[in-house]
Amino acid sequence: MNGHGDAITAAEDEPPVLDWHQEIAAMKPVDEQFPDGKYPVGQCETYYIPGKDERIASDRESSQEKKALDSSFEEMYQDYRRSAEVHRQVRNYVKSWVKPGMTMIEICERLEACSRHLIKENGLDAGLAFPTGCSLNHVAAHYTPNNGDTTVLQYGDVCKIDYGVHVRGRLIDSAFTLHFDPRYDNLVNAVKEATNAGIREAGIDVRLCDLGETIEEVMTSHEVELDGRTYTVKPIRNLNGHSIGQYRIHAGKTVPIVKGGDQTKMEENEVYAIETFGSTGKGYVHDDMECSHYMKNFELSEEHIPLRLARSKALLNTIDKNFGTLAFCRRWVDRLGESKYLMALKDLCDKGIVDPYPPLCDVKGCYTAQWEHTLVLRPTCKEVLSRGDDY
């Protein structure tokens, strides 16, 4: 998968010069690469006045009031940009070695080790924002391997790599689709174009439903031929983009990827993950398979809920200390030295303190693709924070 979403050639089988742990340890963390604290600015785009037949630019870029407001949020923007630069460097690193035959655990652990190092992980102040999604084929989202999972990446797989990093809870959520077989190019490119169309449409005072209509129109204009059968690429109608808050991956607003959605408008200084999913199946997902993703219920994060089981109290303390309201996975709990905690985790889920997020699947035998970027609706311009040379 190159910058155009085309299939990539698997990384060459060269003898490793360094163990990958040593390779990552030799990398310079991003804050040391930019010691002045000024990180690369994302792709900035002009706002256009919504509802006009011809695209008329707003006067926000030249407004002194908006410029002053922009400057007042500079610290927040730098946190997002640091996270975004880590995301870009990590994905470029991953693409240099990922290949069929690797286990999904190996891929995730190597990616996460690089993210932890480049972001300079520091408790809840900086680190991973949510588990690495590496959902395969008909599985669209929320799959990461639990320990013991022996799944191996195959040449014919379509793999959605979805990961995030944060600084002080300012998190970047961005995803790309990895594939090796060029017969999936049309599917992958259809979804990439739909995501970019959604990004172009986004702006202050734009209605969320308008993004959904644009995304659907672009995605469904594409077809993919697989095994002699032609499929129209369908948006997965019950998946969507979302607003992002501090330490909150889903902050309340949803960005539909089909028409007929919410009339709510986007507002100044909101942060959004614009993501689209396309499928050769039904275009609808359901919960299936073993759960790996969990997240504390944000609404209950400050409430005290009595717990009778000592093991549940201890696990909740571990979650609060290490993840707070950010999503986590079982591999990460294992990594902290916890064991025999599944009963306690189930207890926390049953009480509504923690929510499980099982893999989201379309029909078996179909293929799904995803592309995603994080953007901020700055007072002066729209900044696509996670944009890179690759996508």
Q: Which amino acid is at 59?
A: D
The Cα diameter of the chain in Å comes to 63
Q: Which of 70, 112, 193, 372 is catalytic?
A: 372
Q: Is 173 annotated as a binding residue?
A: yes
Q: Which of 162, 193, 347, 362 is catalytic?
A: 162
Q: Is the sign of the CA dihedral 179, 184, 186, 187 positive or negative?
A: negative
Q: Is 350 annotated as a binding residue?
A: no
- 242 in catalytic set: yes
Q: Is 222 annotated as a binding residue?
A: no
Q: Which of 242, 338, 347, 362 is catalytic?
A: 242
> Would you say 42 and 198 are in contact if contact means Cβ atoms under 8 Å apart?
no
Q: Which of 70, 275, 338, 383 is catalytic?
A: 275
Looking only at the bridges linking them, the beta strands covering 139-141 and 158-167 are unpaired
Looking only at the bridges linking them, the beta strands covering 328-329 and 43-45 are unpaired
Looking only at the bridges linking them, the beta strands covering 170-179 and 139-141 are unpaired
Q: Which of 45, 181, 250, 262 is catalytic?
A: 250
Which residue spans within the chain are E strands per DSSP? Answer: 43-45, 126-136, 139-141, 158-167, 170-179, 223-226, 229-232, 234-235, 241-244, 254-255, 271-279, 286-287, 293-296, 328-329, 354-357, 360-361, 368-377, 382-384
Enumerate the β-bridge partners of residue 242: 254, 273
> Would you say 215 and 235 are in contact if contact means Cβ atoms under 8 Å apart?
yes
**What are the residues whose beta carbons fall under 8 Å from the beta carbon of 286, sequence distance 6 or more?**
360, 361
- 275 in catalytic set: yes
The tokens describing 368, both together, are 């799904």
Q: Which amino acid is at 120?
A: K
* Cα 290–Cα 251–Cα 47 angle in degrees, nearest 5: 125
- 21 in catalytic set: no
32: buried, middle or exposed (CB in 10 Å: 19+, 13-18, 0-12)?
exposed
> Would you say 140 and 363 are in contact if contact means Cβ atoms under 8 Å apart?
no
- 227 in catalytic set: no
Q: Is 372 annotated as a binding residue?
A: yes
Looking only at the bridges linking them, the beta strands covering 328-329 and 158-167 are unpaired
Q: Is 53 annotated as a binding residue?
A: no
Smallest CA-to-CA distance from 187 within 283, 320, 298, 324 is with 283
- 217 in catalytic set: no
Q: Is 142 annotated as a binding residue?
A: yes
Q: Which of 173, 201, 216, 347 is catalytic?
A: 173
213, 277, 365, 375 from 194: Cα distances, Å: 10, 9, 23, 16
Q: Is 242 annotated as a binding residue?
A: yes
* Residues annotated in a binding site for a divalent metal cation: 162, 173, 242, 275, 372
In the annotated binding site, the residues are 142, 162, 173, 242, 250, 275, 372
Give catalytic residue positions.
162, 173, 242, 250, 275, 372
Binding residues for substrate: 142, 250
